Amino acid sequence: MMSNATTGPKLSLQAPAGFHPFTVGRLSCLTISDGFVATQVETLGFAVEADDIADHLRRRGHDVTEMRSQISCLLVADPEHGRTTLIDTGIGSMPGPTGAPLRTAGKLVENLFAAGIDPGEVDTVLLSHLHPDHIGGAFDPAGQPTFPQARLFAPEEEVAFWSADTPDLSRLLVPPEAAADLVRSARKFIDRAGNRLHTFPAGSAPAPGITAVGFPGHTPGQVGYLVESDGADLLYTADAFGHAVLSVEHPEWPFALDSDPETAVRTRQRLIVDLGARRGRFFTPHFPWPNLGRIGTVGTQAVWTAEPYDWPGQ
């Protein structure tokens, strides 16, 4: 269990497969796994021929028979302010692509406990956008808050979009029933959160040392979070990137769940240039474990370079 606010939270240095500790300046951070979703090339969600996707992945040495998309959250423990902040909450028990809860996901709480963290110690939950795999873990199946002491924060434009009478999802490349499920899950979350949900504009700092950065396109109000401490920083990119190879090497490829594909492409392209120019360290929830890396180049091609990591037991 984390220490109290008097001495500031501290994290164990032991790293079972469900969590990975690292630091940003004086901040103690954890990648926390909520599990994964298994996908086929045909269902990756990119509006490109499956053969083209498979060919590109094979050239990069990837197995295309089955791929696993990680669902991870970022926990930031701030000893100076005695704050414990969780960024996004995974999918929890919300339905996955098949309409049923994912048997391979919903692991956030057990992995928090494995890291020695009681959910009651989380005092701030920051949400990047209101898709099910980012809000689903905020409440248990009975509708009770998973983090009972935490205030919930979401971008004001995002909450306004999903609360509108008819959110415009006409440009999503998914069946109408899937789009309707997105609306239902977002509104269910907003209703459950009630007055525990606080909104903020992009560019503000909803928690000490953490600034919201607008990354529109995937959803209208999506934000990432810039975590800063002692001259070090980490950018949480949310779903501005969806796949570690395809989104970085082909940012122009539309993604089925981007509500505004042209804006999403511009956001990805801008991020690649910025992160590549400054060799910025970033965290993307659906990239391979433990979700940390930088943008590098091979010739003139931008590529994601994973941060070195030793699997437990190796």
Residue 11 lies in a domain: no
Rounded to an integer, the average pLDDT of 226-250 is 96
Q: Which structural domain, as residue segments, surrounds residue 100? A: 19-306
Beta carbons of 126 and 210 less than 8 angstroms apart? yes
What residue type is assigned to position 314 of the chain? Q
Q: What number is the average pLDDT over the span 181-194?
A: 97
Q: What is the rounded CA–CA span in Å between residue 132 and residue 140?
A: 13
- The residue whose two tokens read 């890291």 is 115
Tell whether 207 is covered by a domain: yes
pTM: 0.92
Domain-embedded: residue 9: no
Q: 30 and 4 in contact (C-beta within 8 Å)?
A: no
Whichever domain contains 301, its CATH number is 3.60.15.10
What pLDDT is stored for residue 63 in this prediction? Answer: 78
Query: Given a cut of 50, is residue 7 above it in pLDDT?
Result: no
CA angle 269, 154, 281 (to 5 degrees): 40
pLDDT in tens, 60-73: 888 788 788 999 99
Q: What is the mean pLDDT of residues 21-48?
A: 91
Beta bridge partners of 211: 226
Spell out where the chain has E strands: 19-24, 27-39, 67-78, 83-87, 124-126, 151-155, 197-200, 210-214, 223-229, 232-236, 282-283, 292-298, 301-306
Computed from CA positions of residues 163, 169, 173, 174, in that sequence, does the dihedral angle turn out positive or negative? Answer: positive
Q: Is the peptide bond preceding residue 290 cis, with omega within 30 degrees of 0?
A: yes
pLDDT at 11 exceeding the cut of 80 = no
- By CB atoms closer than 10 A (0-12, 13-18, 19+), residue 277 is exposed
Question: Is residue 12's pLDDT more than 70?
Answer: no
In a domain, 2, yes or no: no
Spatial distance between the Cα atoms of 93 and 137, rounded to a whole number of angstroms: 7
Which of 209, 216, 186 has its CA nearest to residue 85? 209
- Tell me the pLDDT tens digit for each residue of 249-282: 999 999 999 999 999 999 999 999 999 999 999 9
User: 74 lies in a domain?
Assistant: yes
Q: Are 85 and 75 in contact (CB under 8 A)?
A: yes
What pLDDT sits at residue 94? Answer: 87
Dmax (CA) for the chain in angstroms is 57
Pairing of strands 27-39, 210-214: unpaired
Q: List the structure tokens of 157.
A: 């434009």
Radius of gyration of the chain (CA): 18
- What pLDDT score was predicted for residue 13? 38
pLDDT at 55: 93
Q: Is residue 145 in some structural domain?
A: yes
Residue 3 lies in a domain: no
Per-residue pLDDT at 199: 98
Distance CA 277, CA 98 (A): 40
Question: In the structure, what pLDDT confidence band is assigned to residue 310 with cuts at 50, 70 and 90?
Answer: low
Q: How far apart are alpha carbons 227 and 207 in whole angstroms? A: 10
Q: How many domains does the chain have?
A: 1
Tell me, yes or no, whether 34 lies in a domain.
Answer: yes
